[in-house]
């Protein structure tokens, strides 16, 4: 991007850092002057050579998995945030998807993205003179965006999907992200009626009808587009439930090949990975069964004999609604949350979906989010790291050993970079506020005073994210009297910068913006609390690179992961956050600060505890540490080093995408390959096996248990040492089910600190199978008594299962199981 900035810095800023639009804005004389400038030409050649070396160089995937060349991953997401010049993202989900794609390219992972091209993006935010959010939409000229039409035979590729009573034509565009391509679908085609053209007009716009139609375009249209491109992935990654309809299109393809329905479902499941990002039930897309049957009418008519089975894949039996997350989980072999805590929350949330098993066994793993280091780390930081870290640090950024060299960077160098970035942020914030006040027609005095807002020497705290109520942007305002004392300390001043958008339909979220604006206009806080407008990736870079402290105080555990604090950490900014999402696992006591609470479900109690913690830690730890400086704040810089050293190698998308590759993509590709081989032989066996087990599981009964607990307690004399273990036996009746297709286990709980952890002891068969009855034995702690202390269960198993509870069938000696 620095190459384009050199062409015309003013126009570069005016065009929103859009390289394609910049080239349209440059006149011939400027282009001729640049082409005749030897310094610019030399820099241009240097950039091209560097890009060529990147495209042709060896990659992590080639070196680590040279025999996995058959792997091809399709990554479906409703939004992608690559750069501010392509505004088809709203927030964290989209930025994560963009960062995921960038790291996949850097690592050489063969990933193809599929998304939607929104004609009007998300929205442009303006804050009026009363603090109200004004949402404005502008149609983009696709010929002036960094995208290209996908051409076949000289014409733009278009795909058609069936909707009730008509077909919708979707144009296909491509974004080149390094080595990989992202394909975007666009409904603004002349063949479509005006209403259908608007389907891809706005991200998360419209009503439920718009939402379900958009998700059909993404999922069904996305698969159809890949087929027209002759792309047949063996891994389909559903990034949040919006894209789950892709499984129905793949199901239809397989049914048309003649596969039985249950075999087609297993084949789809074998090749699908699902990532959930939402820790509350209300955040998962649901539609009425009537709406689903209406919009999927053409597909359901085409597959009429399977209509009920298809609808059942997404049915939430508790609500009677069609749930996109249920559809994704029923059709994905592997599922994951986006932090360790979110994995726990998701397992609890979907415990009943998987039958009566302990939450710890629910087959939802976790892969903690990261951010793309090269995108979010300031150039000044990268130059500094280049001087002191090993030369391979950019390629091997997930290698923790390389970051030990942070220690040798002089404090003076770190503080100089940080202060420069902070000054850049202050200048940017003032420009943003100036434009805001000029547009709102405010007085000359009000406009001019902005030039003195924010002190580059003051402790600066940033809060920027989507303004949803659970993120509690206004928590710091719970005690304005105490806040006034903190901010207006003449010797140790503190200032706050806020930014973020609220969804146009989220009125409570918009009220948060209004409240922050109102507080910022109080005389005690003028110029020391500011709220910037139109938060985007460009602004985010200034903020995460330029503040001293990154504040995050959501209601725990509603932050699935959060990534803004990870971006800040890479730039030496210290996190000050509730122990939620990624920070619960990232915080180590020396790399930032934790806003503690009991984590109770009582929101009022958590609000009170978090508020007190914020003020106390600010007053007693953060502010004294920052201002404990002579020429340099050495203690503060030491904590900056601890933060970079401990967080950068872990919370980057290189590590994250490597985890996805090792833990989900490669196992899924291998399993998918196995399932389709030899005319779907394994898929058929697994599907038939599951069908047989479901039909006959009612035969499985635990007949009796020989537990010698009572005898042990009475027969052993008091003066003798009682045995620490005992043997128990049981008998299981299997009916037509083969005992080797089951696991018989003892389940009990053991106290571990403040938690009770489930323990599972396999039981071994003893004796012969007689009249479908098999005996089993196990050794367990002697003090356990059947019923109050332990139970026995039987569950089906198969070497071809993706996880232990692929069949949610359990027979147990406890009635609640």
Written in H, E and C, the secondary structure of 295-309 is HCHHHHHHCHHHHHH
Q: Which residue has the tokens 């390219």?
A: 105
Whether residue 393 lies inside any domain: the answer is no
Tokens in use for 296? 């999927």
Q: Are strands 111-116 and 180-186 parallel, antiparallel or unpaired?
A: parallel
CA-wise closest residue to 43 among 5, 83, 85:
5
pLDDT bin (cut points 50, 70, 90) of residue 357 is confident
Q: What pLDDT is attached to residue 709?
A: 59
Q: Check whether residue 47 and residue 114 sit in a common domain.
A: no
Whether residue 38 lies inside any domain: the answer is yes
pLDDT in tens, 240-268: 999 999 999 999 999 999 999 999 999 99
Whether residue 753 lies inside any domain: the answer is yes
Tokens in use for 258? 């003649």
Q: Check whether residue 440 and residue 492 sit in a common domain.
A: yes
Average pLDDT over residues 480-502: 96
Name the domain count of the chain.
4
pLDDT in tens, 115-124: 999 999 999 9
Whether residue 660 lies inside any domain: the answer is no
Q: Whole-model pTM? A: 0.95
**pLDDT of 816 higher than 60:** no
CA distance 516 to 794: 57
Whether residue 397 lies inside any domain: the answer is no
**pLDDT of 282 higher than 90:** no
Q: Check whether residue 242 and residue 97 sit in a common domain.
A: yes
**pLDDT of 168 higher than 60:** yes
CATH number assigned to the domain comprising residue 790: 2.60.40
**pLDDT of 815 higher than 70:** no
φ, ψ for residue 593, nearest 5 deg: -135, 150
CA distance 491 to 659: 47
Instruction: Identify the domain boundary among 14, 31, 57.
Output: 57
Q: Check whether residue 340 and residue 414 sit in a common domain.
A: no
**pLDDT of 787 higher than 70:** yes
Report the percent of the chain where pLDDT is more than 70.
Answer: 97
Q: What pLDDT is attached to residue 598?
A: 64
Average pLDDT over residues 678-689: 97
Q: Check whether residue 232 and residue 151 sit in a common domain.
A: yes
Instruction: Identify the domain boundary among 624, 651, 678.
Output: 651
CA-wise closest residue to 790 among 757, 814, 817, 772:
814
**pLDDT of 385 higher than 50:** yes
Q: Check whether residue 627 and residue 712 sit in a common domain.
A: no
Q: What pLDDT is attached to residue 280?
A: 83
Average pLDDT over residues 308-336: 97
Q: What pLDDT is attached to residue 599?
A: 59
CA-wise closest residue to 513 among 138, 182, 132, 142:
132
Average pLDDT over residues 512-535: 97
Spell out the residues 6+ positions from residue 68 whose beta carbon is closer than 8 angstroms to its own.
61, 666, 669
CATH number assigned to the domain comprising residue 623: 3.40.50.2000
Q: Check whether residue 444 and residue 554 sit in a common domain.
A: yes
Q: What pLDDT is attached to residue 605?
A: 87
Beta-carbon count within 10 A of 736 CB = 9
Whether residue 695 lies inside any domain: the answer is no
What angle do the packed helices 246-256 and 324-331 form, to 10 degrees?
50
Q: What angle do CA 649, 655, 659 make, to 5 degrees?
A: 145
Would you call the peptide bond into 557 cis, given omega within 30 degrees of 0 as the criterion?
yes
Beta-carbon count within 10 A of 317 CB = 11
Whether residue 140 lies inside any domain: the answer is no
Average pLDDT over residues 15-24: 93
Q: Check whether residue 322 and residue 433 sit in a common domain.
A: no
Q: Check whether residue 572 and residue 435 sit in a common domain.
A: yes
pLDDT in tens, 462-476: 999 999 999 999 999
Average pLDDT over residues 621-650: 95
Q: Which residues span the domain enclosing 18?
A: 1-57
pLDDT bin (cut points 50, 70, 90) of residue 718 is low
**pLDDT of 817 higher than 50:** no
CA distance 785 to 748: 10
CA-wise closest residue to 608 among 462, 463, 472:
472
Residue 206 DSSP one-character state: S
Residues 391, 674 contacting (CB under 8 angstroms): no
Task: Give how far Cα 206 sits from Cα of 212, 471, 534, 616, Å.
Answer: 10, 24, 21, 44
Ordered alpha helix ranges (H), 451-523: 480-487, 507-520
Average pLDDT over residues 732-755: 93
Tokens in use for 113? 């993205």
φ, ψ for residue 298, nearest 5 deg: -60, -40
Would you call the peptide bond into 545 cis, given omega within 30 degrees of 0 as the criterion?
no
CA distance 597 to 579: 8
Q: Check whether residue 77 and residue 52 sit in a common domain.
A: no
Q: Which residue has the tokens 């696709």?
A: 142
Q: Check whether residue 331 and residue 431 sit in a common domain.
A: no
Q: What pLDDT is attached to residue 707?
A: 87
CA distance 714 to 672: 57
Residue 97 DSSP one-character state: H
pLDDT in tens, 543-558: 999 999 999 999 999 9
**pLDDT of 492 higher than 70:** yes
**pLDDT of 600 higher than 90:** no
**pLDDT of 722 higher than 80:** no
Instruction: Identify the domain boundary among 651, 678, 710.
Output: 651
CA 155 to chain centre: 36
Whether residue 436 lies inside any domain: the answer is yes
Q: Check whether residue 208 and residue 107 sit in a common domain.
A: yes
Average pLDDT, the chain: 94
Q: Sign (positive/negative) of CA torsion 247, 249, 255, 259? A: negative
**pLDDT of 710 higher than 80:** no
φ, ψ for residue 561, nearest 5 deg: -145, -60
CA distance 808 to 151: 47
φ, ψ for residue 746, nearest 5 deg: -95, 135
CA distance 59 to 36: 36
């Amino acid at each position: 991007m620095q190459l384009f900035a050199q062409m015309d810095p003013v126009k570069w800023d005016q065009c929103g850092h859009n390289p394609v639009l910049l080239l349209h804005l440059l006149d011939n004389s400027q282009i001729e002057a640049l082409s005749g400038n030897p310094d610019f030409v030399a820099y241009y050649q240097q950039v091209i050579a560097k890009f060529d070396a990147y495209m042709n160089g060896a990659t992590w995937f080639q070196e680590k998995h040279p025999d996995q060349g058959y792997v091809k991953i399709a990554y479906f997401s409703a939004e992608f945030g690559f750069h501010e010049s392509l505004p088809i993202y709203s927030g964290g989900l989209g930025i994560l998807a963009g960062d995921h794609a960038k790291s996949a390219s850097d690592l050489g992972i063969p990933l193809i993205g599929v998304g939607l091209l929104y004609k009007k993006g998300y929205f442009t935010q303006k804050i009026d003179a009363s603090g109200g959010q004004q949402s404005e939409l502008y149609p983009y000229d696709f010929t002036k965006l960094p995208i290209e039409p996908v051409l076949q035979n000289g014409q733009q590729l278009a795909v058609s999907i069936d909707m009730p009573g008509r077909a919708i034509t979707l144009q296909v565009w491509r974004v080149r992200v390094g080595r990989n391509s992202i394909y975007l679908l666009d409904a603004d085609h002349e063949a479509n009626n005006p209403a259908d053209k608007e389907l891809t007009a706005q991200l998360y716009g419209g009503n439920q009808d718009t939402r379900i139609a958009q998700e059909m375009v993404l999922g069904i249209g996305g698969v159809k587009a890949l087929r027209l491109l002759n792309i047949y992935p063996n891994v389909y990654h559903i990034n949040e439930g919006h894209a789950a309809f892709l499984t129905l299109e793949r199901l239809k393809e397989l049914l048309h090949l003649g596969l039985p329905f249950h075999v087609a479902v297993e084949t789809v499941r074998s090749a699908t990975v699902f990532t959930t990002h939402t820790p509350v039930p209300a955040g998962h897309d649901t539609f009425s069964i009537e709406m689903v049957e209406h919009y999927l009418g053409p597909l359901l008519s085409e597959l009429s004999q399977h209509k009920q089975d298809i609808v059942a894949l997404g049915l939430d039996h508790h609500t009677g609604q069609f749930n996109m997350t249920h559809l994704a989980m029923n059709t994905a072999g592997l599922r994951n949350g986006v932090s360790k805590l979110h994995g726990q929350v998701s397992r609890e949330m979907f415990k009943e979906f998987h039958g009566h098993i302990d939450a710890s066994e629910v087959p939802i793993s976790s892969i903690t989010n990261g951010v793309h280091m090269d995108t979010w780390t300031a150039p000044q930081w990268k130059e500094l790291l280049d001087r002191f870290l090993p030369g391979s640090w950019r390629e091997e950024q997930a290698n923790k050993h390389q970051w030990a060299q942070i220690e040798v960077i002089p404090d003076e160098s770190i503080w100089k970079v940080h202060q420069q970035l902070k000054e850049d942020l202050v200048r940017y914030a003032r420009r943003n506020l100036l434009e805001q006040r000029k547009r709102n027609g405010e007085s000359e005095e009000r406009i001019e005073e902005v030039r003195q807002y924010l002190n580059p020497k003051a402790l600066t705290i940033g809060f920027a994210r989507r303004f949803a109520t659970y993120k509690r942007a206004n928590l710091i305002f719970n005690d304005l009297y105490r806040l006034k004392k903190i901010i207006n300390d003449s010797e140790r001043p503190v200032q706050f910068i806020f930014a973020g958008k609220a969804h146009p339909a989220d009125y409570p979220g918009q009220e948060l913006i209004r409240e922050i604006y109102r507080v910022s206009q109080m005389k005690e806080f003028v110029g020391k609390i500011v709220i910037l407008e139109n938060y985007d990736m460009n602004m985010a870079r200034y903020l995460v690179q330029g503040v001293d402290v990154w504040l995050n105080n959501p209601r725990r555990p509603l932050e699935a992961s959060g990534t803004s604090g990870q971006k800040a950490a890479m730039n030496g900014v210290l996190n000050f956050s509730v122990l939620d999402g990624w920070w619960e696992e990232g915080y180590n006591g020396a790399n930032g600060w934790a806003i503690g609470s009991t984590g109770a479900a009582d929101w009022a109690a958590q609000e009170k505890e978090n508020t007190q913690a914020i003020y106390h830690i600010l007053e007693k730890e953060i502010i004294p540490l920052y201002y404990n400086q002579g020429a340099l704040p050495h203690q503060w810089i030491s904590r900056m080093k601890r933060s970079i050293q401990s967080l950068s190698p872990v919370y980057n998308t290189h590590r994250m995408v490597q985890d996805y590759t090792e833990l989900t993509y490669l196992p899924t590709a291998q399993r998918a390959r196995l399932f389709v081989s030899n005319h779907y032989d394994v898929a058929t066996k697994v599907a038939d096996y599951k069908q047989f087990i479901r039909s006959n599981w009612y035969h499985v009964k635990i007949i009796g248990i020989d537990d010698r607990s009572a005898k042990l307690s009475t027969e052993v004399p008091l003066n003798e040492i009682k045995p620490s273990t005992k043997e128990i036996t049981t008998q299981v009746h299997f009916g037509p089910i083969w005992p080797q297709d089951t696991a018989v286990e003892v389940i009990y709980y053991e106290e571990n600190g403040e938690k009770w952890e489930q323990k599972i002891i396999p039981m071994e068969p003893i004796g012969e199978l007689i009249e479908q009855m098999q005996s089993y034995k196990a050794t367990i702690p002697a003090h356990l008594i059947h019923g109050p202390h332990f139970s026995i269960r039987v569950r089906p198993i198969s070497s071809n299962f993706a996880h232990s509870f692929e069949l949610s069938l359990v027979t147990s000696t406890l009635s609640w199981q």
